[in-house]
Amino acid sequence: MEHLTVGNIQFGPETKFANQPQQMPQMPEFIEPPMMPPVQVKIYSESKHGLPQYETSGASGMDLKANEDVKIYPHETTTVGTGIYIELANALEFQIRPRSGLSLKTKMRVANSPGTIDSCYRGEIRIIVENTGNDLITINDGDRIAQMVLVPVLKCSWKQVETKESLSATDRGEGGFGSTGTK
């Protein structure tokens, strides 16, 4: 085992912890967690391309296809219709995310990412896209342009305190926007 340094503490084969065995325990063999049953979502489709679907058995998101031809001029932001309308239960949202290959191979970006489809929204799912490049981008009817991931939503209730000092102290404190470094 090589040495591992965390902060100013060095861990290695000779590291001993109070009330801990001297040898590292064997990790159990990987156990596949059980699959959650699918959540049923009401859907109405005007899409010419079928319903959104998972492209592989391990995919987290379902691909969304354009239901129209759209030209996106350089540095323009616009929306692309999918022809899909849904009804979600109150504790759920769909997040709209970019497709990684599309982001890698083109200058088209899904703006406002991840976008949220709230449980109370009943309009057409439209994807906000932007052209960050200098060339025209053409989206063809039927192109897979984004993906949507079903996510549970937690709601909060506020417990208002009288002073900022009433919030618990942490190592990070008020440090933000890169305060933890890059390496």
Q: State how far the Cα of 114 lies from the Cα of 96, in Å rounded to an integer.
A: 5
- Helical (H) or strand (E) element with 126: strand 126-131
Cα–Cα nearest to 88, from 114, 116, 60, 120: 120
Q: Per-residue confidence at 123, pLDDT binned at 50, 70, 90?
A: very high
State the average pLDDT over residues 99-127: 95
Among 1-5, 127-131, 152-156, which stretch is predicted with the lowest mean pLDDT? 1-5
Reply yes or no on whether the pLDDT at 15 is more than 60.
no
- 62 three-state secondary structure: strand
pLDDT digits (tens, 9 = 90+) for 81-95: 999 999 999 999 999
Sketch out the chain's domains with CATH numbers. Answer: 42-152 (2.70.40.10)
pLDDT digits (tens, 9 = 90+) for 22-42: 566 677 777 777 878 899 999
Q: What is the pLDDT of residue 118?
A: 97
What is the chain's alpha carbon radius of gyration, rounded to the nearest angstrom?
24
Task: Give residue 58's identity as a one-letter amino acid code.
Answer: G
Q: State how far the Cα of 6 lies from the Cα of 24, in Å rounded to an integer.
A: 18
Q: State how far the Cα of 143 lies from the Cα of 138, in Å rounded to an integer.
A: 10
Reply yes or no on whether the pLDDT at 114 is more than 70.
yes
Q: What is the pLDDT of residue 144?
A: 97
Q: What is the pLDDT of residue 34?
A: 80
CA pseudo-torsion sign 142, 147, 149, 154: negative
**C-alpha torsion angle, residues 164, 170, 174, 178 (rounded to 10):** -160
Asked whether 149 and 61 are in contact (CB, 8 A), the reply is yes
Return mean pLDDT, the chain.
Answer: 88
Reply yes or no on whether the pLDDT at 143 is more than 70.
yes
Q: What is the pLDDT of residue 151?
A: 96
Q: Go through the chain and tell me how many residues it has.
A: 183
